[in-house]
Structure 1
Amino acid sequence: MDPDEILLDAEERMGKAADVYQHQLTGIRTGRASAGLVESVRVDLYGSPTPLKQCATISTPEPQQIAIRPYDASQINAVVKAIQASDLGLAPNSDGRMVRLNVPPLSTERRKQLVSRVNSLAEEAKVSIRNVRRDANKSADGLEKEIGEDEVKRVKDEVQELTKKFEGKVADAAKTKEEEVMED
């Protein structure tokens, strides 16, 4: 691996870690309804767990309501069971064709729990980014005989800059989500 490959690989892997974190944030609810709250709920369809977004249309017709219309109406009971089994704390109402979820306002205690979840996910993402940094630095150290000490130091400095950049993105996303969760 040459220095440019090390940097490209590190940037790509750090970007993926930040993207995974962004995706995880969509599943954390705020005070208003969002399709992201239920998209990843697993529904047992024909014996295999399937994400809800692959087997139903999810919409938010009102700020405090989520509407779920399964593509196959016979699967409505499976969708209801999956929502009840999830840790969302939402009670599904079914009319035989669609499921409606009323999203109640969050209590202050629940908001604090969600903020701590946002922060723990952010810390996990930062640890992933730091692990990528460690791997990249190890790869750079392995090249020291070929490229020289100065070049290894330059690569490590650039890897550190990437680390700061992606940790900053994660921190910004966490701060934004925290503000969304805490607003009434």
Structure 2
Amino acid sequence: MSKGIDLNDIKRRMDGALAAFKNDIASLRTGRASANVLDPVMVEAYGSRVPLNQVANITVPEPRMLGVSIWDRQMVGAVDRAIRESNLGLNPIIDGQNLRIPLPELNEERRRSLVKVAHDYAEKSKVAIRHVRRDGMDALKKAEKDGVVGQDESRSLSEKVQKITDDMISDVDRLLADKEKEIMQV
């Protein structure tokens, strides 16, 4: 930790925003079945909203099919409703205490809408990274004002914070470009 600012903490917080972005784009389906597709689904269960994976097991029995085994028979309707209302374009088939979810072929329009969602995720991640940068810069200004660091050291540290920020933003852009190419690939 330098006087007034902890660069490792700033990097750790920015890494957290990047990890959240990676998790978000992993949930975007690209024609192949993945259990991550259902990560954003929240189910109304036992008086609160919980992630789907807390009330059921999610499996991939076939390349274009998801299986959801619900633990509590009374939750089948709530899980079905949550998946249908999640804007993922999925229509579950109820089979007793299980749901089968066929993944439809992605058409051009659906691919473009998934790319827009990926761009939204990227923008949220960039905003989070910039908030961490702002916090770091504010801490630097306060440390400089309080006389903890000098002007030269403050300028040097602010350049390091900006370099970390630029690296993180370029990582987000690179991941977004890769995901966009993957989504648009027919």
CA distance in 2, matches of 1:74, 1:130: 44
CA RMSD of aligned residues (A): 1.7
What amino acid sits opposite 1:73 in the alignment? R
Which aligned pairs between 1:40-59 and structure 2 lie closer than 5 A?
Answer: 40-59=40-59
Conserved 8 A contact 2:4-2:148: no
1:172 aligns with one of 171, 174, 179: 174
Q: Deviations over 1:97-129 (max 9, x none)?
A: 210000011111111111122112212211221
Conserved 8 A contact 2:43-2:82: yes
CA distance in 1, matches of 2:169, 2:3: 22
1:93 is matched with 93
2:37 is matched with 37
CA distance in 1, matches of 2:111, 2:4: 44
Deviation at 1:5, TM superposition (A): 4.1
CA distance in 2, matches of 1:73, 1:87: 24
Conserved 8 A contact 1:118-1:178: yes
Percent identity among equivalent residues? Answer: 37
1:16 is matched with 16
Q: Deviations over 1:118-150 (max 9, x none)?
A: 112212211221221122112112222222111
The TM-score, its normalising length taken from structure 1, stands at 0.92
Conserved 8 A contact 1:6-1:139: no
C-alpha spacing 1:134/1:126, structure 2 compared with 1 (3 Å):
same
Conserved 8 A contact 1:44-1:82: yes
1:63 is matched with 63
What amino acid sits opposite 2:48 in the alignment? S
What amino acid sits opposite 1:149 in the alignment? Q
CA distance in 1, matches of 2:26, 2:111: 15
CA distance in 1, matches of 2:142, 2:39: 43
Q: Which runs of 5+ in 1 are unaligned?
A: none
2:111 is matched with 111
The TM-score, its normalising length taken from structure 2, stands at 0.91
Moved over 4 A (4+): none
CA distance in 1, matches of 2:5, 2:28: 35
1:148 aligns with one of 131, 147, 150: 150
CA distance in 1, matches of 2:41, 2:185: 25
